[in-house]
Structure 1
Amino acid sequence: MKDIYEECPIYTKDLITLRQTTMEDAEELLKCYSDEKAVPFFNSDNCHGDNFNYKTLERMKKAIDFWNFSYENKYFVRWTVILNNTKEKIGTIEMFHRIADDEFNHYGILRIDLQSDYERQQIIGEILEIVNEYFFKAFDVKVILIKAIPENIERIAALSKMGYESVNRKVMTYDDYFVSLESR
């Protein structure tokens, strides 16, 4: 398997395709990141005050520029979520291998940001199928954490169906995390 930071793979399922986010995605992704109903579901924990609620194309492009910088420096990978039937770009996901001096050292952190109209169990389920099949090896982790606030019923249902359980304690200083039970 190639290093994910040398060559970013494209993943495809029935409903969605994940491919590395590029600047050409900015205009369509702004629909996601300006969606007031979606913003509360984004995981902005430990993001230095950025809540990912972007109002302008310029701000969206700055975020993508940072995501590309982070990929080049092997901090994390950001993929655009594309609907296969319409080619619409409905959000992004991010994944990284966390290194820290705590009990969650060497855990993977997965972030899923979707437009509110697409925050659905079936779409999230396909994202998690890709994650479970490829990300443990690609990021060299045995466990993956993902945030889902209690109001996010669709995400929690998808997580439960895919074998994730509530951590039931704080991750760093944050609540509402779910954990994969074991690597796939």
Structure 2
Amino acid sequence: MTIRRPAAEQAPTTVGALPGPSDLDVAISVARQLLDSDQVLSLREALRLLLRALDAEPRTVREDARPPACRCSAAHPDDPTPCGGPVAVTILDAHNGGADGCEHHGARLLASLDGGRVYPLPDAPGEAAIRVFKAAASIRPFPWINAPRTRPEQLAHDENRHGGEGQ
């Protein structure tokens, strides 16, 4: 039985061009190659390769790569860095949603927000909010993501103020 996709879901083709293999075709090819291979792969590795071929890899972080469980609420789940001291500041976004955090994660969160603000907690060390504000100016948004950054919104505030990279 052949299932026909609606025209809107079909990939556009040009005259003389053949459509490429589907994700399922690629996964089947990978599975066949794994079966014919002399390499001994763990079931986990074989499934990971098949899921990658289908662009369906799990979005969770491996257990051994997870950051420590006891981190401040300003720490992003994908940020692998540990806290840099006690919870000292509150970071608010443009809609007044907030998170309390250490100075390290507070600065990283503030750098990743548009219109964010920082306030010291009552028992914070002196000038904690000022240190976070200054540090955030030199941190690129989402600094744990390693990707080329060229657009102004991808650069640190200080880089934009000084004319971007390389200047």
Task: Point out which structure has higher relative CO (alpha carbons under 8 A, 6+ apart).
Answer: 1
Larger Rg: 2
Give the structure with the larger strand fraction: 1
How does the TM-score come out when normalised to structure 2?
A: 0.26
TM-score (normalizing by structure 1): 0.25
